[in-house]
Structure 1
Amino acid sequence: MRLTVIGTGYLGAVHAACMAEIGHEVLGVDTDRSRTEALAAGQAPFFEPGLPALLTQNTKAGRLRFTTSTQEAAAFADVHFVCVGTPQRADSLAADLRHVDAVADTLAPLLTRDSLIVGKSTVPVGTTRSLSRRVSARLRSGVDAEVAWNPEFLREGHAIKDTLSPDRLVLGVTSPHAERVLREVYAPLLRAGTPCITTDPATAELVKVAANSFLATKISFVNAMAEVCEAAGADVVTLADALGHDPRIGRRFLSAGLGFGGGCLPKDIRAFLARAEELRVGESVSFLREVDRINRRQRARTVDLARQLAGGTFEGRRVAVLGATFKPDSDDVRDSPALAVTAEIAAQGAEVAVHDPQGLDNARRALPGPAYRADVLEACRGADLVLHLTEWRQYRTLDPAELAEVVRAPRLLDARNALDPAAWRAAGWHLRSLGRPAPVPSPGQGESPRVSIPHALGPSCTAPGAADSLSGAPK
């Protein structure tokens, strides 16, 4: 089949490459010419393992091309995937749908034959209905276009696997024709046994935001338990292990730490709250405000604990930060808890050096000021305190003894509960973790005042250039 993918940000670039990989002819469309040229050359504008190779092999095979022309897209195919960004609005919690609306405004008047427009972006419930009206109002006489919704469930760092071997497909359609077309698009995945749920568009729209809201709730729950554990002298990691054996609960997403961030979970739960208020059922999901508040609170608690380890103040202290991205295997720093903590400790007077395997350029653009080091040892050299803020694999394999040689004081805060406390303490480190029993404090390490992190339901931190009018937001 011939398909277009409109928006070649994180979602769109991955979807286009993977649809070509399963045998379709795909045309990726974006307003950013430099982006389309880079993708055509096999260069991903963001870090996603395996994507450059997938782009290269499918462009060479002739199954994948990129353009900035919506007119070319309209003539190329009858199935058009919408993969543009839906960030949080600057003036409210709601999702900003201007890029989705722009697709309807530019594509619909150019269609010359009946088409299927398939949304994949994360949107408020009811978007398919309103977009259908928008498309219909702009079509040429005698041309029909149906709008369906097919939400994505990608994880940054695992997006190719999540597209080629998804745990489910959800098809939100209003006609048997739309279902038949989408089943033809995904035929190789369906033959491989991927579960497929066919439903109405409103339910399909809700599936993604409901899933993200549930995951966010699970993360904030265990982080709330971490604070209780600290007060009670209990161990949140053991607690989570015990809870995870209950099949009704499960262990995944039940790891206490610095909390969630990125371009999806924070803005999606806020947009869900806003849409529920519009539907006059806001009280039913009001718990999400507390979920978000707990998540932001983790950043303040991390700053507090870091200040205690630094001796009660950051003034005159050198702090090494391990990790800037919101999660490992990504270069995404949008609403990154690690970068938020970094900004706060720098604002309180610390001299900060940051290391990250992939996110240094984006971090530097989003937060000028700290020193950014490409080498872990250089970032830690002379540090009075080391903060582990993003769970990159290479940090788990660091040699504590080697690192102790370059720091000024072997103090470590593991804000992700990913390091082996026994190994680090055996190498002479004073280590603290969120939600785990603390060793006897050193003299002078008393409690310090709490710090206030900015408004819990404020807009997400967006790195400049993270998305444009036809670029999908990273997940």
Structure 2
Amino acid sequence: MSVRIAIVGTGYVGLVSGACLAELGHDVICIDNDPAKIDALNNGRMPIYEPGLDELVSRNVKRGTLRFSLDLPASVKGREAVFIAVGTPSHPGTDRADLRYVMAVAEQVAPNIDAFTVLVTKSTVPVGTNREVQRVAERCLAPGQSFAVASNPEFLREGSAIEDFMHPDRVVFGTDSEAAAAIMRRIYAPLAQNGYEVLATEIETAEVIKYAANAFLAVKISYINEIADLCEVVGADVDRVAAGIGLDRRIGAAFLKAGPGWGGSCFPKDTRALKATASEHIVPMRIVEAAIEANANRKTVMFDKIEAACGGSVAGRRLAVFGLTFKGQTDDMRESPSVGLIQMLEQRGAKVRAYDPSRPAEAARMLPNIGIAATPIGAARSADALVILTDWKDFTECNLGELSDYMADPVMVDLRNLFDEDAVRESGFRQYVRIGRKTVGERRAPGNERRAPRTRVPLAVPSRHVHDKARAEARSTVEASEAV
């Protein structure tokens, strides 16, 4: 049975959740206080980058199951459930979650409730928040009206959020109200009928589940990153180590990919918030604290690796960087490892030109001193080294031989282990450095002469490549027209 739902907030969680709930057959209206964002959505333009989201939104708008509005008071009337899906960033100067936006929504929704409504917190919030939401809403509730609160944490991965919502590992909600629980079960009945687990708990349990899950995954990444450092010293291969331990069903293979550290909108702030909550209740959280510290130190380890690949110093070097977002298949740069690493490289005198397939809007503000290339070749042209910082699938489809041709010195530092070493070297790269494996000496394919490092113009194509006149002309055209 269809449920009438309002969602306050059309950011990543709110918009994806709204579109997916509409796809499940519910009547959904998404609300925001940003006129530009609502205007864009009403005209079919997505404010975020998420594969498949534009098609999902368009389909449900046409079906009449999804609408967008600036009018919160009118939009929440007659709704059986109102979801709070606003941001909960770290509070300035502390590790605690900033809950002002959540409480503001509760204050605005409560006076406009005209029938029993479930006020559902979809935002990631510390334990105890939903009790406070209830107190705030009770103070603002119109006489004679009633409501209940529910915690319904999201478990969406950027880049695969629609798949995660429609085919979840589990759905979790917590409430003390049987009436609220009945509505929540109706909302997720289509998923339950398809065999997906819907777990009903107490409010506090649902709140802790979200933080505990994210912190555990962050710990898992920090752990494999430290194992990668050990592998490099002893001569092991971290990818094979991860595969070997991941086959153990008690461990699992997910989140055992070594790299430059975790970032994004969830892990950094959620681990900090969990640590802060534990501290408030005088409960040690040593493992989470260690993961946070290891992740903070990861940038220095990665910087040292880049510097070593550049002969011991990046001063004056032109570096091509592939990837600005914290992970592939998203345009989110929030707390991306790339940002901190690039800033360190700039501080040591490197000149950085970056390429990211999503062309993140925040790049110019967060990294105002770097060049932004429109294509992979635009970033690689005349570079002294190519650094892979984000695991974009697009990068694996690049013509590595062409990239190496355009570089002044064909050195690749692959901080995501995206490529096969032999394939990279056969493509003309004289040096390939990766994570979690001892770097071997330079190897060059027969006939592939090493180019002089730090030459500031593209050198001649290595003799092992045969280019006809048409390809040479095409290359000249690219060099003349490349937008940076």
On whether the aligned pair clears a TM of 0.5, the verdict is yes
- In the alignment, the residues of structure 1 paired with residue 162 and residue 42 of structure 2 have an alpha-carbon distance, to the nearest angstrom, of 18
55-64 or 402-411, larger mean C-alpha shift: 55-64
Q: Give the residue type in structure 1 aligned to 2:362.
A: N
Q: CA deviation at 1:382?
A: 0.3
- What is the aligned partner in structure 1 of residue 134 from structure 2? 132
Partners of 1:319 and 1:360 in 2: CA distance = 19
Contact persistence 2:322–2:389 (CA under 8 A): yes
Task: Please say which structure displays the higher CA radius of gyration.
Answer: 2
The residue aligned with 1:256 is: 258
Cα distance in 2 for residues equivalent to 1:382 and 1:415:
21
Q: Which amino acid aligns with 1:13?
A: L
Mapped contact 1:42–1:53 kept (Cα < 8 A): no
Give the whole-Å Cα distance in 1 for the aligned partners of 2:51 and 2:198: 26
For residues 174 and 438 of structure 2, the distance between their equivalents in structure 1, rounded to whole angstroms, comes to: 48
2:143 to 141, 144, 155: 141
Q: Is the 8 A contact 1:325 1:359 kept in 2?
A: no
CA distance in 2, matches of 1:330, 1:183: 31
Once residues 276 and 365 of structure 2 are traced to their aligned partners in structure 1, the CA distance between those partners, rounded to angstroms, is 30
Counterpart residue type for residue 17 of structure 1: A
**3-state SS of paired residue (1:129):** helix
Paired residue for 1:240?
242
> Hey, what's the Cα distance between the residues in 1 that align with 2:78 and 2:61?
16
Partner of 1:435: 436
Q: Could you list the per-position Cα deviations for residues 375-402 of structure 1 after superposition, in whole angstroms to 9, with x for gaps in the alignment?
A: 1011100000110010111212223222
Cα deviation per residue 1:137-180 (whole Å; 9 max; x = unaligned)?
A: 11122111111111110010111111122111112010221111
SS of the residue 2:86 aligns to: coil
Q: CA deviation at 1:182?
A: 0.7
Residue of structure 1 equivalent to 2:225 = 223
Secondary structure of 1:405 counterpart: helix
The answer to whether the Cα contact below 8 Å between 1:168 and 1:194 also exists between their aligned partners in 2 is: yes
Judge conservation of contact 1:81–1:119 (CA < 8 Å) in 2: yes
Aligned to 2:216, which of 214, 217, 229?
Answer: 214
What root-mean-square deviation, in Å, do the aligned CA atoms of Structure 1 and Structure 2 show?
A: 1.6
Give runs of aligned pairs for residues 346-357 of structure 1, distance below 5 A.
346-357=346-357
> For 2:226, what is the secondary structure of its paired residue?
helix
Asked if structure 2 preserves the Cα contact closer than 8 Å seen for 1:333 and 1:359, the reply is no
C-alpha distance in structure 2 between counterparts of 1:183 and 1:198, whole Å: 9
Instruction: Tell me which stretches of 4 or more aligned residues in structure 1 moved more than 6 Å.
Output: none
**Superposition TM-score, scaled by structure 2 size:** 0.89
Q: Distance in 2 between matches of 1:279 and 1:73?
A: 39
Q: Which residue of 2 aligns with 1:91?
A: 93
Query: Match for residue 12 of structure 2?
Result: 10
After the TM superposition, which residues 238-317 of structure 1 pair with which residues of structure 2 at under 5 Å, given as runs? 238-281=240-283, 284-317=284-317
Contact 2:5 2:80 in 1 (8 A): yes
Change beyond 3 A, Cα 1:113–1:90: same
- If the length of structure 1 is used for normalisation, what is the TM-score? 0.90
User: Which residue matches 1:184?
Assistant: 186
**3-state secondary structure, aligned to 2:205:** helix
**Cα distance between partner residues in 1 of 2:177 and 2:236:** 55
2:461 alignment counterpart: none
Secondary structure of 1:26's partner?
A: strand
3-state DSSP of counterpart to 2:439: coil
CA distance in 2, matches of 1:76, 1:421: 60
Query: What is the CA distance between 1:5 and its match in structure 2?
Result: 0.4
Task: Give the secondary-structure state (helix, strand or coil) at the position aligned to 2:345.
Answer: helix
Deviates more, 1:76-85 or 1:44-53: 76-85
Question: Is residue 395 from structure 1 mapped to residue 395 from structure 2 by the alignment?
Answer: yes
Structure 1 residue 62 corresponds to structure 2 residue 57: no
Structure 1 CA distance, aligned partners of 2:397 and 2:159?
Answer: 19
Give the 5 Å matches for 1:452-463. Answer: none
Shift of residue 440 of structure 1?
2.7
Per-residue deviation, 1:78: 2.6
Q: Which residue of 1 aligns with 2:405?
A: 405
Paired residues of 1:4 and 1:76 also in contact (CA < 8 A): no
Asked whether the 8 Å contact 1:41–1:56 carries over to 2, the reply is: no
Tell me the residue number matched to 2:161: 159
Match of 1:450?
none
Q: How does 1:356-371 map to 2 (within 5 A)?
A: 356-371=356-371
Check the 8 A contact 2:400/2:424 in 1, yes or no.
Answer: yes
Q: Distance in 2 between matches of 1:234 and 1:192?
A: 43
CA distance in 2, matches of 1:208, 1:440: 45
Q: How far is the alpha carbon of 1:110 from its aligned partner?
A: 2.0
Are 1:360 and 1:372, in contact at CA under 8 Å, matched by a contact in 2?
no
Task: Determine if contact 2:172/2:206 at 8 Å carries over to the other structure.
Answer: yes
Please give the per-residue CA displacement for 1:339-379, whole angstroms capped at 9, x wherever unaligned. 22112112211111000000343212221110000110111
Range with bigger deviation, 184-193 or 404-413: 184-193
Secondary structure class of the residue paired with 2:362 = helix
In the TM superposition, residue 301 of structure 1 has moved relative to its aligned partner by 1.0
2:419 maps to 419
Contact 1:48 1:329 in 2 (8 A): yes
What is the percentage of aligned positions where both structures have the same residue?
40
Asked whether the equivalents of residues 330 and 359 of structure 1 are also in contact (C-alpha less than 8 Å), the reply is no
**Deviation at residue 441 of structure 1 after TM alignment:** 6.9
Residue 52 (str. 1) matches residue 54 (str. 2): yes
Q: Distance in 2 between matches of 1:394 and 1:74?
A: 42
Paired residue secondary structure (1:404):
helix
Aligned residues: 442
Structure 2: unaligned runs, 5 residues or longer: 444-452, 454-484
SS of 1:137's partner is helix
- Following superposition, the deviation at residue 231 of structure 1 comes to 2.2
Specify which structure has the bigger relative contact order, considering alpha-carbon pairs within 8 angstroms and separated by 6 or more residues.
1
Partner of 2:33: 31
**In 2, distance between residues paired with 1:326 and 1:242?**
26
**Does 1:336 find its partner at 2:332?**
no
8 Å Cα contact 1:324/1:355 also seen in 2 = yes
Aligned equivalents of 1:156 and 1:182: distance in 2? 24
The one-character-per-residue Cα deviations of 1:297-343 (angstroms, maximum 9, x if unpaired) are 22111111111111222222100000000001100000001122112
Kindly provide the amino acid, as one letter, of the partner of residue 233 in structure 2: A
Residue 78 of structure 2 contacts residue 114 of structure 2 at CA under 8 Å; is this kept in 1?
A: no
Matches of 2:199 and 2:132, distance apart in 1: 23
The within-5 A match list for 1:92-131 is: 92-131=94-133
